[in-house]
Structures are given as structure tokens and as C-alpha cells.
A and B are shown apart, each in its own frame.
Chain A
Amino acid sequence: MGGLQTMDEDRKLRAGEDLFAWLMLGFSGFVLIQAYLISGFSSVDAPGTFPMGAAAVMVAASLSVLLKNRRLKAGQPITFKAELNRAAAAVLPRVFMVYCAIIVGYMLLIKPLHFFPASFAFLLISMVYLKGTGWFRSLMIATVMLGSIYIVFQYFFRVVLP
């Protein structure tokens, strides 16, 4: 996935790809409006001029993506709901959803529980959930990792962790 580059012009459209492109177009439009609000069309050297240019490029690029998608589309008219379901299955697998929930929980608990206990729990739970290794080894790894984080960040770099 990461660095693989494929210049396939005649591939099939991914599930939900069109929807995502529309979302990005909406997002670009929003950014363009926000950029306009900085200083309008007041001058070529205004703080908002360059952001407006960049936002316009975003809009143009998303339009171009949508056009390209049109060309890729291989007919098969499906309902919006079916498309959503297909997209969810491909992009939002169960493991991703659950894991994101664990991450969000971790985020929210960093402050009340403090960094080390929250991270310890997060490491344990996620290593066991993702079947990385058993309880005992998870315990060991989490301890060693947080120990080194403590030494490097809190001791040497004097970062006051939450």
C-alpha cells in the first residue's frame, strides 16, 4: 500500500471512491470560503491571497478527480445505500473500527489517568486484541517500552508528561 505506485488509468473504481471525492470537493469548497474570509480580494500581497490560490487548486484538483472517476465508472448503477455498505466493508473493516475506538478511548484517558497508566493499559489491551502476543509478553513489552520512554523523555528531555 504505502509506497507502491501504479499508474493504472483503466482500473475499477474503489468502493466509495466517488463518495470520498465528493466529500473532498465539499471540503475544498469550505477551505476556499475560509480563505476568502481572511482578507477577500483586497490586494495581491494580502495574507489571504496565497491561501485562496491554494484552496482554488484544491477545488480544481477535486473536480478533476471526479471527472476521472466518471471515466472509470463501469456502469452498474447501484443505490446510494448499497454503495455505502460496499465502501464500509472495504474501508472500515471491524478491526479498524474497534481499534480506532480503542485509540480514541486512550486519547480521552491520557489526561484523567495520566500518561503512563493510560499508555500501559492501551499497550496491553491493543497487543492482546491485535493478537500480537500473549498476556505475559505484552506485559513485558509494555513495561520495557514505557520504562525507556520515561528515561528518555521525562528524565533526559525533562518533558513533563501529562
Chain B
Amino acid sequence: MAWLDPSLLLLTAAGTLAGIYVGAIPGLSVTMAVSILISFTFSWDVNDALALMVGVYCGGVYGGSRTAILLNIPGAPAAIATAFDGFPLAQRGEAGRAIGVSTVISVMGGFIGVAALALAAPAVAEFALKFAPRDYLLLAIMGLLLVGSLSGESMAKGVFAGAFGVILGLVGMDPLTAEGRFTFGTVALLGGVHFVIAMIGFFGVSEALVQLHQIGVKPIKQDVSRILPSWSVIAKYIPLSIRTSIIGVFIGALPGTGGDIAALLAYDHAKRTVKNPSRPFGTGAYEGLIAPESANNAAIGGAYVPMLTLGIPGDAVTAVFIGALFIHGLKPGPMLMIETPHLFWFTVGNLVLANIFLLIFGLTGIRIFAKMVELPKGILVPAIIVLSVVGTYAIKNSLMDVYWMLGFGIFGYFLKMYGYQVGPIILGVILGPLMDESYRQAIISCRNDFGIFMLDLVTNPLSLVLTVAVIFMMINQTRLWPFFLRIFRRRT
């Protein structure tokens, strides 16, 4: 096996380690790192280049959870859902344990993703192609229903935040008609607001500002005595993490969605199906940490599925990988697996290795990370702000973005003070554009006829399943649910 070559082993390890830090630093993305590596590895052998990049990819997706748990700043979009329960855990002094559990579960999710890639890639890819625009619309609605569980004290405030997020996500040039939306006639706004900027502002800076209220308060002591979760703890969560990993694989394999949406849907799934979580969701439930962490790492294997079988990127990072293959003289496409099957197995082997290194690197040094939260707020808050500024700037080399980010931070502070949650905003920013686009594609496909649109929803088997699921989830969230249950019980 080529990937067992010691130099390749070393490259994968180096990539994974670097990836964890790239992922953990908000604003530095895996996409960016892999793009830079293309130039860096230009003259290398293609196997060496891929080994390094695969490591960075796996490490980066995992690394995002670090800052999400410790500082409430998701280091990468895929870690947004991790912050919902991860950060409350850190505030309870269980940061070490949370990172330990998330590492083991991430690696497990990663392995499930690789297994799906190795065993069922062609079938999964064909299934992913079946998703029509209307199905993406249904998926986006499903994700947006999560607003209901992230609303905090008032549903109305959650809905407000979610809708505001949608609007924020739509700022800029409409990709389908080249029309400016909320741009006030300026070119600067044509590019829209990068969602990572909104994420850093609303999560990171606003949280830092809220913490100014507790400036003199002594930080919570972190318990670092039990970092490695015991086998019995892990075993308890295995069924959930398998379910959410499967969600991750499929959502990752869909060309229009990636690890961020996979993690959000997985969180939603956990919230609906786990009857007795270790704590209520949103206050530090381990289930709420496990679901997104297994899903986003499983989504890596998923994203490789359409890339290796069809030459279609499963997410932004695999799009860059396709470019790298071109540059190295390969022809990514449906023939890649037929003409160069060794490349497929090389990638599979590399992903396995990267996940093993993830377990090793992920479990070392947790103590130091956890102790970071124990720093006095007077050091932590300025550090978060400088990191947010440099991270935001790095995305597009734009100072304008930095001003936006700080504006979001201050606005987010007021929202938080008045009981609005910021989670739904990010949900809206991510899902809004997907919803807008797929809604319009779906309705245009039916020549603007709502009748045909509705008919399509129930006549196509895949759409029907998704429609039923959406209706079920909607009823489940409203007061109608107990009513239905009562009728059902009376009958039986």
C-alpha cells in the first residue's frame, strides 16, 4: 500500500496536526489552507501533495470544535452546532471532558464516513444526484426548523433572529439574476457578507462583550482529571453517533451542502430523538456535542464520494482538491475511478490514517487548551477581539469586513442582553441562500405553477419522504402535537 510509505505517513501526520490549528483559528479555513498548499506542492509528486492535503482537511474539520467549545467561537462553519452545547459545558468546568469526548466521537464519525466512501461510493453518489432543487428546499426548511429549538426564552425572538439571518445571507448580488440585493448601490456590498464574518461577530465578539459584565468574577475552575472518556460512556453514545454519522455522510455527499449543514441537521436530529439527555439541550448536553461532531467528520467521507466517483465537488474543500488533481495532470471525473483506481484507494487509506492521527493529536494537549478558559476575562476578552479581527481580515483581505464583524458583535451584544439568541441568525445566514436559490429553481422548473410544484412534492418518492418528514417536524414543534397524540391514544 502506497500510503504506508514512511514519508507519506509523516506528511499525513504533519497535515493533520497543522489542520487542527488551522481549524481552531477562526478565519483560517481549510479551503484557504488547501489552496495555498496547491502552490506549495506544485512540483511534488501527486501522492505526497494529496497526503498532506487530506491530513489538513481532516484536522481542520475537527479543529473547529476546539474554539467552539472553549470560547464560543466556532473555528470553522462545521463547528457552529458544536458551540450550542460545547460552550455551556466549558462554562461548567467540563471543557477537558467535552474535548475528549468530541475527539473520540469525531474519529468514529470520520471512520464511518471513510467506510461509506470505501464500500458504497457509487451508490451514494447516484442517490445524491437524485436530489432536485425542491429537495434541497425541503432540506433547508428542515434545517431552519431548528430555530424552534434554539430560540431560548421566546419563540418569536428566535424567529426574528432566524429571519434576520436569512436577510443577512441574501445581501449581495443574486447569483441567479445578477441583481443587487440590499446593496444600496455600492460595489463593496455586491459580494455579500461572508457567513464566517457573521459567525465571528455574532458568536465571538458579542460573547466577549457580554463577558465584560463579569470582569471581576473568578473564572470557573476546569476539571481536567477525566479527559479520556471511559469506554462505557462512549458505548452509551454509539447508537446516536452512528445515526448522526449517517446523516453526515449523506448531507456531505450532496453537492449543494457540506459539513456545516450536516452538523446542524444532526443536532436537530439528536434534539428530537434523545428523550433523556444528560442535561437539557443547550445547557451542556453531551448528546448535543456528539451529534454535530460525528456528523461533520463523517461528512468528509461523504464529500469525497461525488468528487472521486463523478468529479463533482461535495463541498468547498473538495472543489479545491479537484483543481489540484487537474494541476497534477489527472482528469477528475467519472473515469478517474476506472482509469486510476489506485488514487481512490490511496485517498481511502489516507483518510484512515488521518483519522488515526486525529485521535493521537486530538487527545494530547487538551489540558493546556482547557486551562485557556481559566485565564482572567481581562486577558481573554482582548485576545478574542484581536483574533477575531485578524481572522476576519484574512478571509478576503478586507478591512471593511472587519468593521462589519465588529458591528455584528455589538448588535449581537444588544440582542443577547434582551434575550434574543444568536444561533438562529447563523442558521439563517447559512440556510437562507440555499432556500432562496432552490425555491426559485424549483418554481421555475414548474414554470411558476404552484399546482405542479405541490404535485411534484407528493409524486416523487424522494420528495414525498422529505415532505412528510418536514410536516411531521413542524407538527411536532407546535401545540398540535399533544392533540394528535391524544387522538392516537384514544384510538388504540
Contacts and interface: CB of A to CB of B under 8 A. Distances in A.
A123 B33 CA distance: 27
B448 A45 contact: yes
Given A4-B283, A51-B181, A159-B393, A96 B212 contact: yes
Nearest to A55: B167
Given A39-B179, A50-B440, A159-B394, A58 B153 contact: no
A34 B88 CA distance: 37
Interface residues of B, number: 80
A65 B161 CA distance: 12
Interface in B389-428: 389-390, 393-394, 397, 399, 402-403, 406, 410, 413-414, 416-419, 428
Classify the secondary structure of A's interface with B. Answer: helix
Contacts of B164: 31, 58
B433 to A, nearest CB: 10
Given A2-B91, A34-B182, A107 B403 contact: yes
A115 B417 contact: no
Interface in A106-162: 106-107, 110-111, 115, 119, 122-123, 126-127, 130-133, 141, 145-146, 149, 152-153, 156-162
A38 B440 CA distance: 15
A10 B234 CA distance: 40
A104 B215 CA distance: 20
A26 interface: no
A130 B215 contact: yes
Contacts, number: 210
B402 A130 contact: no
A6 B406 contact: no
Given A57-B163, A115-B390, A119-B389, A5 B282 contact: yes
B163 A58 contact: yes
A126 B153 CA distance: 33
Given A5-B280, A126-B381, A20 B207 contact: no
Contacts of B379: 127, 130, 132-133, 141
A110 B414 CA distance: 25
Nearest to B403: A107
A122 B381 CA distance: 12
Interface stretch (B111-119, B169-177, B329-337, B357-365): B169-177
Given A50-B440, A132-B381, 18 more contacts: A6-B152, A24-B160, A28-B160, A38-B182, A50-B435, A50-B439, A58-B167, A91-B417, A93-B212, A96-B413, A104-B406, A123-B382, A126-B381, A133-B376, A141-B383, A159-B390, A159-B393, A161-B390
14 contacts: A1-B213, A3-B84, A21-B418, A38-B179, A47-B177, A54-B428, A54-B432, A58-B164, A103-B385, A107-B402, A130-B382, A132-B382, A146-B386, A159-B390
